[in-house]
Structure 1
Amino acid sequence: MPPFRSALTHLLQARFPLLFVESFEEQRVLDEIDAAVAGLKTPRALWRWSATEGLRRAGGPPERETHAPAAMLQGVARVHERAVFVLSDLHAFLGDGTQQADPLTVRALRDVVRDFRAGELARTVIVVAPVLRIPPELEKDVTVVDFALPGEPEIRDLLEGMIIRNRDTVHVALDERGRDRLTKAALGMTLAEAENAVSLAMVNGSALTESDVELVLAEKAQTIRKTGLLELVRSEIDLADVGGLDALKSWLDKRRDSWLAEAAAYGLPAPKGVLITGVPGCGKSLTAKAAAAAWGLPLIRMDIGRVFAGLVGASEHNMRSALATAEACAPCVLWVDEIDKGFAGAGTASDTGTSARVFGTFLTWLQEKTGPVFVIATANRIENLPPEFLRKGRFDEIFFVDLPDSYERADIWRLHLTRRPAGPAGGPELTPELLRELAGISEGFSGAEIEQAVVSGLFEAYFDRRALTAADLLHAVRNTVPLSTLHAAQVAELREWAKLRAVPASRSLGNDGLAPE
């Protein structure tokens, strides 16, 4: 029995008077409720209500004058039989933080709960809504029942059913691997959204092939973006495209495919994630993008700032919704960028309580999650985070990204100069001598500052419509004051903090200012 149906069955058998199911998939929820009611040992009548149809017993005509919620609830109270009442539009009358709930509706619902609890007949009201809205008067009476997004079996059944129904008009060139990839690409979508995405793939050339995975992913990116909290980030870079950070890249590479059944057979749990802190501009965000691309997993970015909405209770709901969506997309990488800014001050005297509650929700999920969602959190000012965030068990490891040493600077220069064409005639020849000179003169530079030096040199060359030269690069470096000079005290403070609390992201090769030959 599916988890939702099983939980609902137990609640109905226990005669809970008021349940609330939050989901955008109304029809799917209604189907599951029908199945749960039909499977009860003691039969119950099924009643439904919507603002357009009014209250009606399944298979019967609507009751008169029951379109208004208060009148409908009074009608519910008059039903003297074992019954389950499914209410689809009631959330619109329960307030949303900007407007007060309808007092007549709230009072009538409380009366129904009182009568159902005291009566001898087993009767339950189930509110089905896309958003969770519970007035304070009902907080102690209502039980929230989780309804997850469809998992891999449900989406695979949908795909197979659509293939069968369209086999006369759509050519299907998908082997077992292709069907598996297409199914995984649709994880995190509702069944309706997944059906729309597969339908679009089918009409795209009147064929369904493995290349349509990209089209489904593009549709999922739109779906995730509509939440306003998450964003599906596409990245083409690999870990090899990240200069330096050998220790961090090696650690990530060893956890490749760790979410597969083969790893579970070794007794390995799915890795929880990693916290990457350090000097700004040294590759923290780039590493998150590269890790997801290298592992072949979707990268989902969470915007902590958007989680904190203005409505009372909305921030906690936003966090739960975002985490549920991430788990539905598993296996995936959840990238929480600049987490220190989002949770700075949580639990302090200046916090009104919202930040602490949202932070607590995230911490609990991070500790207890069982799905293969690998979290990569990046932070610049680690001291702004609450201490409980840094304790062992939250993350598998905490890495500190320092300014690149001479060897890493040479590698970063080589990567950026190789990646750009540098004009029709090409750039300077990347000899060991030139790389040693560039690495030496750019001591104290971050990776981002080296990249900007390359860009500045390219602008100089482009202005004269000539090839990039070594002199352009050296001039750009000499005219740049690095962050390590402007904020030397802060960088020193970060390094001091990391000595005993974090693992270096780079293997120490010495900061002698010279790249190896």
Structure 2
Amino acid sequence: MGGTAEFRDTLVQLVRARHPVLLVETHEEERVLSTVRSLAMDPTALPRPRNVLVYTLSNGLHVCGGEGKPMQPAAALTAARKTDQPTIFVFCDLHHFLGSQSRGPDPELIRALIDTANAFKSGAVPHTLVLVAPGLTLPLDLEKIITMVDLPLPDIDEVADVLDSIVTANAANISIRLTDEERHRLLQAALGLTRWEAENAFARAISSDRVLDADDIALVLDEKRQTIRKSGLLEFIPPSGSLDDIGGLEVLKQWLRKRNGSWLADAAEWSIPAPKGILITGVPGCGKSLTAKCMSTLWGLPLLRLDIGRVFSGLVGSSEQNMRGALRLAEAVSPSILWIDEIEKGFGSSASGGDSGTGQRVFGTFLTWMQEKSKPVFVVATANRIESLPAEFLRKGRFDEIFFVDLPTETERIPIWRLHIGKRIKQHGAGPVVQPTDHVAALLAAASEGFSGAEIEQAVISASFDAFADRRNVALDDLQRAIANTVPLSTTQAEKIAEIREWAATRAVAATAPDDRAAYASTAPQDSADVETWRGGRTFEF
């Protein structure tokens, strides 16, 4: 059970228990009204039937579906207290008076809400006040008298109802060419949208060519991308590349391949829980973020990037609300991948206390969600300086595993050079051009000791600029010159890299295969007394 059905059951319990004031944070006013109207006249839900009155700034207090006269919220609440028939009052638009940044909450309205709560709680006539707002930070006066109620975004069954209603209404003018699997993928693509947005997405898909087929999945995903972007907290990252585009990191890639599909129904038959997530740490520029992007392609799941910096804002309490909203959206889109890049920059100072505790509260909200989430949202967090993260973030149960990504070995650098040469260097006019052969890649891999994957890519780009300036093909000499002119991070930040390696030696799983590490041992930089330790102490055997 989920979506509207879960919300309805919660609403019935609270109304019967005579909770006087409820708050539903949602953009879907119509969905709330529809649910309230259905339970108000349902004798199996409420022993005594209820009337339903709605308040909006434009229509005042009026019968649902009717019209009224504009009136101020405090006056509408006074009228509600005088009603002598059992009623559920649905008030919209009050967030404009309770969360104004310019003039603060309206004290008259706050007092009217307190008086209404007291009257409804002890009155002889059972009334309930339901506040509907897209977002609301409650004033301290109201925190203890208002009950929060969650309205989840539509689940897959409700999205299917939306699709079926559109198809039925347009059956004479459209053609349906969907297999059962394609229909399921289309419905999954719409998860995370409101009913309104889902209707718009399906209508756009149908109106484009009067055919509903597998090609329309991309259109629905595009609508979802716009919706997620409008939230301001999450960014929808389109699938790009595959794990084959990443040189080395075989242990990490094999771990991800083994867990592909573990959120599906047949995995439950094996008593396999959906994986929680991984934390990838290591040297900058060695493929941590690229791995997160390629996971979306491998698993066929939407990739959502959470910008921690956008979560924090100036209004007291809104940062926690932003985090809860972002996590709810990620769950609504599930199964999904939630990517948090450079997580130490957002949570590394959460325990400092320099922000009046906001960072601690946001961090606590995220930790609790990671521990207790029931929806298949796989968290991929990347960090360059993992030692700055709080200890409670790293304990077992938060992440399935912590992987350490080091500078690529010589064996790993060979496919990285082949990849970037083949990707960027093309034939332009007459004359020889360097080719991504094994021989060329091996020569460059040997010459680029201590280079990260990002530095190898930049070397190829630099060589391409040199050739472009002379309007000629890129030669091997251009690449060798770019290597000679590059001072890698392993030289400029040798001490910091040594610290990262020392931390990871006994606390993380090495992402590089044991054979690759052994091949690299003879040429490893001697910045540690124990050469075997710096590559990461623990390994997986597959």
Shorter-chain TM-score: what band?
over 0.9
Match of 2:50 in 1: 44
Match of 1:3 in 2: 6
Separation in 2 of the partners of 1:466 and 1:59? 73
Contact 1:233–1:301 (CA under 8 A) maintained in structure 2: yes
Match of 2:408 in 1: 404
Separation in 1 of the partners of 2:262 and 2:103? 48
Q: What TM-score do the two structures reach when normalised by structure 2?
A: 0.92
| Structure 2 residue matching 1:46: 3-state secondary structure | strand
Q: Output aligned runs, 1:214-293, within 5 Å.
A: 214-293=218-297
Contact 2:416–2:456 (CA under 8 A) maintained in structure 1: yes
Separation in 2 of the partners of 1:353 and 1:11? 32
Aligned partner of 1:318 among 312, 315, 322: 322
Residue-by-residue CA offset, 1:114-156 (whole Å, 9 max, x unaligned): 1112222211111011112322111100000000111111111
Contact 1:302–1:335 (CA under 8 A) maintained in structure 2: yes
Contact 1:172–1:208 (CA under 8 A) maintained in structure 2: yes
TM superposition shift of 1:60: 7.2
Which residue identity is paired with 1:505?
A
Which residue identity is paired with 1:242?
I
Match of 1:327 in 2: 331
Residue-by-residue CA offset, 1:56-91 (whole Å, 9 max, x unaligned): 3457774x7x71111111111111232211111222
Which residue identity is paired with 1:477?
I
Match of 2:111 in 1: 107
Contact 1:333–1:375 (CA under 8 A) maintained in structure 2: yes
Residue-by-residue CA offset, 1:247-285 (whole Å, 9 max, x unaligned): 100000100011111111110000000000110000000
Match of 2:159 in 1: 155
Q: Residues 228 and 309 of structure 1: is their aligned pair in 2 closer, same or farther, counting only changes over 3 Å?
A: same
Query: Which consecutive unaligned segments of at least 5 residues does structure 1 have?
Result: none
Does residue 1:390 correspond to 2:404, yes or no? Answer: no
Match of 1:125 in 2: 129
Comparing 45-54 with 104-113, greater Cα deviation is found at 45-54
Match of 2:466 in 1: 460
Separation in 2 of the partners of 1:182 and 1:460? 47
Separation in 1 of the partners of 2:361 and 2:116? 32
Match of 1:14 in 2: 17
CA RMSD of aligned residues (A): 1.6
Separation in 2 of the partners of 1:128 and 1:247? 49
Identity among equivalent pairs (%)? 51
Separation in 2 of the partners of 1:303 and 1:316? 14
Comparing 450-459 with 345-354, greater Cα deviation is found at 345-354
| Structure 2 residue matching 1:410: 3-state secondary structure | helix
Does residue 1:55 correspond to 2:61, yes or no? Answer: yes
Does residue 1:25 correspond to 2:25, yes or no? Answer: no
Q: What TM-score do the two structures reach when normalised by structure 1?
A: 0.96
Contact 1:456–1:476 (CA under 8 A) maintained in structure 2: yes
Match of 1:449 in 2: 455
Residue-by-residue CA offset, 1:460-515 (whole Å, 9 max, x unaligned): 1222222211111110000000011001100000000001111111112332459x
Match of 2:528 in 1: none
Separation in 2 of the partners of 1:203 and 1:80? 49
Match of 1:437 in 2: 443
Which residue identity is paired with 1:461?
A
Does residue 1:491 correspond to 2:497, yes or no? Answer: yes
Residue-by-residue CA offset, 1:337-376 (whole Å, 9 max, x unaligned): 1111011210224342111111111111111111111110
Contact 1:440–1:513 (CA under 8 A) maintained in structure 2: no
Separation in 1 of the partners of 2:187 and 2:57? 36
Comparing 420-429 with 2-11, greater Cα deviation is found at 420-429
Match of 1:359 in 2: 363
Separation in 2 of the partners of 1:429 and 1:82? 81
Contact 2:418–2:438 (CA under 8 A) maintained in structure 1: no
Contact 2:156–2:187 (CA under 8 A) maintained in structure 1: yes
TM superposition shift of 1:48: 1.5
Query: Which consecutive unaligned segments of at least 5 residues does structure 2 have?
Result: 525-542
Aligned partner of 1:510 among 490, 502, 519: 519
Separation in 1 of the partners of 2:196 and 2:54? 22
